[in-house]
């Protein structure tokens, strides 16, 4: 740690991140990528687990970063501390592979929860040691103002205390008798308390605030890393779609929309990223606002990918249903001809391109063999008998229900969408359920993102009297937010709208258009603001 700088009123004033800080961020994104791979957000349990795990990651990263930007200087001691924090994130990576923080899963072994507790214990205890070393260093004559000793000591004690809480929670698990709900509730309550305490201490003792630090840049770089997770998801989407059947103009267009959405998120954030001081308390609130903002960015990035996969699934499900309708209701195929026709359709889906898809194939072919060995299943008498027709499948005989369920379920599985047991839902039902979850959290994430971007821009605005020049930007954003809220409401109240709109390729172009409108509003407001400043500068120069 450097001496107190009276001119900048900071301990370690820096204007850019160090290379070791950027190296440390790699462990954050590695955790995020691993958890995303094993917990695709296609049901509400995974959605809750995603938020819960992200909270642990983000708050831990924030606590480490707020120490670094204020007190850290390049030294052997600080590099050693960084190694400890990197090892913490590696331990969390092991936990993320198995953990389901939002619901009780009896299959998860106790060591997962114990590893999480011990990792957080070591991490918080080490942060407590770092703050303790800083406290002791601050007591040396002539190095730092004495009024920082007490808040530093409080901060050190806080992390020793929360570390003790995490350690105590590890002892609650023995022979699967731990209260999972109470366990995670205690963890998130402790995370909330330590985050609020850190921000509160920096607000109460202004010399420990984030002034003259590069926290703005660190939070911005983390945002880039999270958007980068969306880029990784984009490459997976290309493989899952065009990797099977080759280039397709429609999917090229959807991928292009995905790129534009990521680009607009970057633009809307970085065009309003403050590069100046804007008040002690406001900066603390602005920093805390990045938790829901980063979560929303992640939700939009992952949701965009899932929207493309949902359309891909709908397209292939329609292919399965259409083929059955033609083969049975139109051509009245039977026996070997019917089984060969269905087998040809299944091969065209290329379900064997992924491991989950390959696992579904034997069950699908069992149903095809069963239908091929049936007599008169597609006869005119059978398909015109109301008692033999499956409801909601366009007049297809009931004998095809299991085949359609397994075939459409195989499509969903081949996209690595978590499979719902057959006792709970058919292939079509599970696909529709997954699409509804994706639709809700996707538009909810867009709503949250726009709200956070607007709030952060207003918090970071300079203290001039030209705030009214931003009125157009705020009005445009408000209009887009209301439109998003309306789409979210329609999707939940009108089932046919959800099926038609969410199953169409127009979802992503709609989002691109909304972000483009917001960007135009921002540009117009900034143009007016710049023009007014130039007029004031010219008036001041002439006088």
Q: Tell me: the pLDDT tens digits for 479-529?
A: 999 999 999 999 888 888 888 888 889 999 999 999 999 999 888 887 777
Highest-confidence segment of 67-71, 207-211, 262-266, 364-368:
262-266
pLDDT at 262 over 70: yes
pLDDT for position 436 = 85
pLDDT at 65 over 90: yes
Highest-confidence segment of 252-266, 300-314, 354-368:
252-266
| 469 CB-near residues (< 8 Å, 6+ apart) | 525, 528, 529, 532
The stretch 285-292 carries a mean pLDDT of 92
Among 229-238, 384-393, 500-509, name the one with the lowest average pLDDT.
384-393
- Note the pLDDT tens digit of each residue in 126-172: 999 999 998 888 887 665 666 788 999 999 999 999 999 999 988 77
Q: State the Rg of the chain over Cα.
A: 28
pLDDT at 471 over 60: yes
Tokens of 386: 């109301």
Q: CA-to-CA distance for 351 and 319, rounded, in angstroms?
A: 13
Tokens of 429: 């039902």
- The answer to whether 140 touches 77, Cβ cutoff 8 Å, is no
- Note the pLDDT tens digit of each residue in 350-362: 888 888 788 889 8
Q: CA-to-CA distance for 231 and 498, rounded, in angstroms?
A: 27
Binned at pLDDT 50, 70 and 90, residue 325 comes out as confident
Q: Which residue has the higher pLDDT, 375 or 98?
A: 375
Binned at pLDDT 50, 70 and 90, residue 308 comes out as very high
Tell whether pTM > 0.75. Answer: yes
Q: Which residue has the higher pLDDT, 514 or 248?
A: 514
Binned at pLDDT 50, 70 and 90, residue 421 comes out as very low
Within a 10 A sphere around the Cβ of 329, how many other Cβ atoms?
Answer: 17
Largest CA distance in the chain: 99
Torsion sign, CA atoms 224, 299, 189, 96: negative
Q: Which of 118, 120, 97 is CA-nearest to residue 109?
A: 97
| End-to-end alpha carbon distance in the chain | 48
Q: Which residue has the higher pLDDT, 38 or 461?
A: 38
pLDDT for position 1 = 53
pLDDT for position 148 = 82
pLDDT for position 514 = 96
pLDDT at 461 over 80: no
pLDDT at 177 over 80: no
Q: Work out the percent of the chain whose per-residue pLDDT is above 90.
A: 34
Q: CA-to-CA distance for 309 and 255, rounded, in angstroms?
A: 11
Q: Which of 267, 275, 270, 286 is CA-nearest to residue 220?
A: 270
Helix (H, G, I), strand (E, B) or coil at 397: strand
pLDDT at 252 over 90: yes
pLDDT at 212 over 50: yes
Q: Which of 357, 341, 339, 359 is CA-nearest to residue 349?
A: 357
pLDDT for position 513 = 97
pLDDT at 465 over 50: no
pLDDT at 222 over 90: yes
Dihedral angle, C-alpha 423, 425, 427, 432, nearest 10 ° = -170
Q: CA-to-CA distance for 505 and 498, rounded, in angstroms?
A: 13
Among 7-21, 196-210, 375-389, 406-420, name the one with the lowest average pLDDT.
7-21
pLDDT for position 87 = 94
Listed in sequence order, the DSSP H helices in 171-276 are 180-204, 215-245, 249-270
Tally the residues of the chain: 543
Helix (H, G, I), strand (E, B) or coil at 350: coil
Q: Which residue has the higher pLDDT, 491 or 74?
A: 491
Binned at pLDDT 50, 70 and 90, residue 424 comes out as very low
């Amino acid at each position: 740690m450097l001496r107190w700088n009276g001119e900048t009123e900071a301990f370690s004033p820096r204007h850019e991140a160090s290379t070791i800080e950027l190296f440390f961020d790699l462990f954050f994104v590695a955790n995020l990528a691993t958890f995303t791979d094993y917990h695709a957000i296609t049901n509400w349990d995974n959605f809750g687990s995603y938020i819960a795990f992200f909270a642990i990651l983000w708050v831990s990263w924030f606590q480490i970063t707020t120490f670094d930007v204020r007190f850290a200087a390049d030294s052997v001691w600080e590099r050693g501390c960084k190694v400890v924090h990197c090892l913490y994130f590696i331990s969390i990576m092991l936990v993320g592979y198995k953990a389901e923080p939002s619901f009780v899963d009896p299959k998860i072994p106790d060591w997962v929860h114990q590893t999480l507790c011990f990792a957080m214990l070591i991490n918080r205890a080490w942060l407590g040691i770092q703050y303790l070393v800083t406290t002791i260093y601050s007591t040396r004559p002539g190095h730092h103002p004495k009024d920082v000793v007490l808040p530093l000591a409080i901060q050190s004690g806080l992390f020793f205390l929360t570390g003790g809480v995490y350690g105590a929670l590890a002892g609650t698990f023995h022979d699967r008798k731990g209260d999972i709900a109470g366990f995670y509730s205690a963890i998130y309550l402790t995370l909330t308390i330590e985050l609020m305490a850190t921000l509160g201490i920096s607000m109460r003792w202004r010399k420990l605030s984030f002034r003259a630090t590069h926290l703005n840049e660190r939070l911005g770089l983390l945002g880039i890393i999270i958007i980068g997770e969306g880029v990784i998801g984009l490459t997976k989407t290309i493989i899952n779609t065009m990797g099977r059947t080759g280039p397709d103009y429609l999917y090229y267009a959807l991928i292009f929309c995905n790129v534009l959405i990521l680009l607009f998120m970057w633009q809307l954030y970085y065009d309003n990223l403050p590069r100046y001081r804007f008040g002690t308390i406001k900066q603390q609130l602005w920093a805390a606002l990045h938790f829901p903002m980063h979560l929303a960015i992640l939700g939009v990035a992952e949701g965009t990918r899932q929207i493309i996969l949902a359309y891909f699934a709908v397209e292939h499900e329609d292919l399965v249903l259409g083929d059955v309708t033609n083969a049975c209701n139109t051509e009245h195929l039977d026996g070997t001809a019917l089984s060969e026709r269905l087998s040809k359709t299944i091969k065209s889906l290329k379900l064997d391109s992924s491991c989950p898809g390959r696992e579904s194939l034997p069950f699908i072919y069992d149903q095809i063999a069963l239908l091929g060995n049936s007599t008169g299943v597609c006869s005119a008498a059978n398909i015109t008998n109301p008692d033999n027709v499956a409801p909601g499948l366009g007049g297809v005989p009931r004998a095809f229900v299991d085949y359609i369920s397994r075939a459409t379920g195989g499509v969903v599985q081949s996209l690595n969408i978590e499979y719902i047991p057959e006792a709970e839902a058919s292939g079509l039902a599970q696909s529709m359920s997954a699409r509804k979850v994706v639709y809700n959290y996707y538009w909810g994430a867009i709503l949250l993102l726009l709200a956070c971007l607007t709030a952060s821009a207003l918090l970071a605005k300079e203290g001039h009297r030209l705030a009214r020049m931003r009125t157009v930007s705020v009005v445009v954003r408000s209009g887009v937010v209301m439109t998003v809220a309306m789409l979210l409401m329609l999707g939940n109240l009108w089932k046919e709208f959800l099926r038609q709109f969410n199953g169409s390729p127009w979802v992503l172009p709609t989002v691109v258009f909304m972000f483009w409108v917001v960007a135009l509003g921002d540009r117009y407001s900034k143009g007016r603001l710049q023009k007014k400043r130039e007029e004031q500068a010219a008036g001041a120069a002439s006088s």
